[in-house]
């Protein structure tokens, strides 16, 4: 494809090179290969299930070490709440009060989510706040019919000239209603961090946000800081970063031509949460917890959730300590056959690494190099929840082009579900990924890895989108916890459902973990 001088200037102004854009275009041409699932990861076959005794040991180990290591909590929080209110936007756009009742509208679309919204409306955390605003905008509200009141309630929430909740970042919406205040997801992450992501009563949190929301987050932190620090006896250091323009990807038409805006400029799009790998790589902490902005609970459940976070972190620190000891020994060159056997068994039994069938034929020198390479990688401990029908990726054994098998978190979009064998493996899956990670991104010398060196670029996604009413194809980088961590050392651990409480739709706020009573 030919690029004009203006195109090249536009590309370079984003911090990108022409070669990068051309390699992205090649991916559209060739298409992205599906992953090759070998089998589902299950208990004792890729997923560890901790006994109560083992869980307590990991928690105690973490608590004994936490004041001697640096800890951070990394929270992807850039998304607006638009998708959370999808059903309400459609209701405003398509409901015609003169022609139908709300019940008939719900029945016409079989919209169970809208029905649940109105049934549980008084339990929503912002219910009373919206009512207060309704009195301002619609003084005669009390005299209106029930259906009109419901419509005006939703319009007050969503209209741009009123509360405009659809514009808000999800992290700054009221999520929980306590006796004396409303708490945002942002606030709940601070309370949680004090329990498991603090060291010496100091908690470092890093939120990746859209730059347009920076002042809103700053204002919220100023508003809640003093009271949260007093209640938790913890000082908070909050930092923010943005998804870099240089991680955007070029868009093309369904015919693989450059997609241009009306002014003739190239169209670039944010490339998904995989772009946040660069943000993660800027951190310099020994232990990093990763958790999505909407996965929080009300206060009474936080201690239970924190226990499992500390369990995962204790496992990370214990495994990391053994990895570092093995690496120092391998680097020293003073390695016996018994050492090689011990390290090999550790890789297989603890890190679930499938060692080459040719390993025993290697020379001692090459065996040492092989083991060093397998060990000298970032480590992630990933909580996995029993599959109960929630959407999302899952843990699988995957075979790559070279025939090597490894543990991976795989999204359904990466799987050829028309392939009978692959579909059967998916059906046999027992767990899914709740995005509950504890990561070690430093090597045995205390240096931060270059995380870009451990990405599988062939696990990117091509998705169909629209722009100004026109179809386009967009490229998403390998997901942050999918292909972006493909070559990390990975341990999957079963955690209970209480640790997974995302708010994907507004009615999720009606679930018990988001309700005080």
Amino acid 461: pLDDT: 84
Q: Is the pLDDT of residue 305 over 90?
A: yes
Distance of CA 508 to the CA centre of its chain: 18
Write out pLDDT tens, residues 117-149.
999 999 999 999 999 999 999 999 999 999 999
Angle between helices 185-196 and 214-232 (to 10 degrees): 40
Q: Is the pLDDT of residue 330 over 70?
A: yes
Question: Which residues is 124 bridged to in the sheet?
Answer: none
CATH superfamily of 5-81+168-317+430-514: Spore Coat Polysaccharide Biosynthesis Protein SpsA; Chain A (3.90.550.10)
Q: Model-level pTM?
A: 0.94
Q: Return the residue matching tokens 């859209």.
A: 210
Q: Is the pLDDT of residue 304 over 90?
A: yes
**So where are the chain's domains?**
5-81+168-317+430-514, 83-158
**DSSP per-residue letters across 348-408:** HHTS-----TTGGGS-HHHHHHHHHHHHSS-EEEEEEEE-SS--S-EEEEEE-TTS-EEEE
- The Cα 460–Cα 347 span in angstroms is 28
Beta-carbon neighbour count of residue 140 at 10 Å? 7
Classify residue 90 by its DSSP letter.
H
Give residue 163's pLDDT band: very low, low, confident or very high (50, 70, 90).
Answer: very high
Q: Once rounded to an integer, what is the mean pLDDT over residues 149-157? A: 97
Write out pLDDT tens, residues 400-436.
988 999 999 999 888 999 999 999 999 999 999 999 9
Amino acid 413: pLDDT: 84
- 276 with 455: CB under 8 angstroms? no
Q: Report the DSSP pairing between strands 489-494 and 379-386.
A: parallel
Write out pLDDT tens, residues 58-114.
999 999 999 999 999 999 998 778 889 999 999 999 999 999 999 999 999 999 999
- The Cα 280–Cα 272 span in angstroms is 14
Q: Is the pLDDT of residue 213 over 70?
A: yes
Q: Once rounded to an integer, what is the mean pLDDT over residues 30-54? A: 95
Amino acid 217: pLDDT: 97
Backbone angles phi, psi at 79, to 5 degrees: -70, 140
Sign of CA dihedral 486, 493, 439, 339: negative
- 236 with 229: CB under 8 angstroms? yes
Amino acid 255: pLDDT: 92
Q: Is the pLDDT of residue 511 over 90?
A: yes
């Amino acid at each position: 494809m030919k690029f004009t001088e203006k195109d090249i200037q536009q590309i370079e102004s984003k911090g990108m090179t022409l070669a990068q854009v051309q390699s992205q275009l090649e991916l559209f041409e060739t298409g992205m290969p599906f992953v090759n699932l070998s089998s589902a990861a299950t208990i004792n076959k890729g997923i560890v299930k901790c006994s109560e005794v083992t869980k307590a040991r990991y928690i105690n180990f973490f608590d004994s070490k936490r004041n001697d290591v640096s800890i951070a909590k990394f929270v992807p929080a850039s998304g607006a709440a638009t998708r959370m209110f999808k059903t309400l936007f459609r209701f405003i756009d398509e409901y015609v009060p003169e022609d139908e009742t709300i019940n008939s509208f719900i029945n016409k679309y079989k919209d169970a989510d809208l029905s649940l919204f109105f049934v549980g409306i008084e339990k929503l955390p912002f219910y009373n706040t919206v009512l207060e605003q309704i009195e301002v905008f619609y003084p005669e509200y009390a005299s209106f019919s029930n259906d009109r009141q419901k419509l005006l309630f939703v319009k007050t929430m969503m209209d741009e000239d009123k509360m405009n909740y659809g514009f808000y970042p999800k992290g700054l919406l009221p999520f929980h209603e306590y006796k004396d205040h409303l708490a945002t997801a942002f606030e709940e992450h601070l309370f949680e961090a004090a329990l498991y992501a603090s060291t010496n009563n100091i908690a470092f949190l890093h939120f990746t946000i859209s730059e347009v929301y920076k002042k809103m987050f700053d204002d919220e932190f100023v508003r809640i800081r003093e009271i949260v620090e007093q209640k938790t006896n913890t000082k908070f250091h909050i930092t923010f970063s943005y998804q870099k323009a240089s991680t955007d990807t070029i868009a093309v038409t369904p015919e693989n031509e450059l997609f241009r805006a009306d002014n003739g400029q190239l169209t670039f799009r944010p490339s998904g949460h995989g772009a946040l790998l660069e943000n993660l790589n800027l951190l310099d902490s020994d232990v990093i917890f990763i958790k999505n902005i909407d996965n929080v609970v009300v206060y009474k459940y936080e201690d239970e959730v924190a226990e499992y976070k500390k369990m995962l972190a204790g496992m990370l620190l214990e495994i990391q300590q053994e990895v570092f000891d093995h690496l120092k020994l391998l680097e020293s060159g003073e390695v016996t056959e018994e050492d090689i056997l011990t390290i090999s068994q550790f890789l297989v039994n603890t890190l679930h690494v499938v060692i080459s069938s040719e390993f025993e034929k290697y020379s001692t020198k090459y065996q040492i190099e092989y083991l060093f390479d397998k060990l000298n990688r970032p480590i992630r401990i990933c909580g996995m929840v029993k599959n109960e029908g929630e959407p999302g990726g899952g843990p699988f054994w995957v075979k790559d082009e070279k025939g090597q098998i490894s543990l991976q978190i795989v999204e359904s979009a990466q799987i050829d579900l028309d392939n009978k064998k692959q579909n059967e493996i998916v059906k046999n899956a027992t767990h899914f990924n709740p995005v509950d990670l504890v990561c070690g991104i430093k090597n045995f010398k205390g240096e931060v890895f270059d995380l870009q060196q451990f990405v599988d670029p062939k696990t990117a996604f091509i998705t169909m989108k629209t722009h100004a009413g026109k179809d386009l194809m967009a490229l998403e980088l390998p997901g942050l916890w999918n292909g972006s961590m493909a070559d990390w050392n990975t341990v999957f651990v079963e955690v209970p459902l209480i640790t997974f409480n995302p708010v994907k739709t507004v009615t999720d706020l009606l679930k018990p973990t988001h309700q005080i009573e």
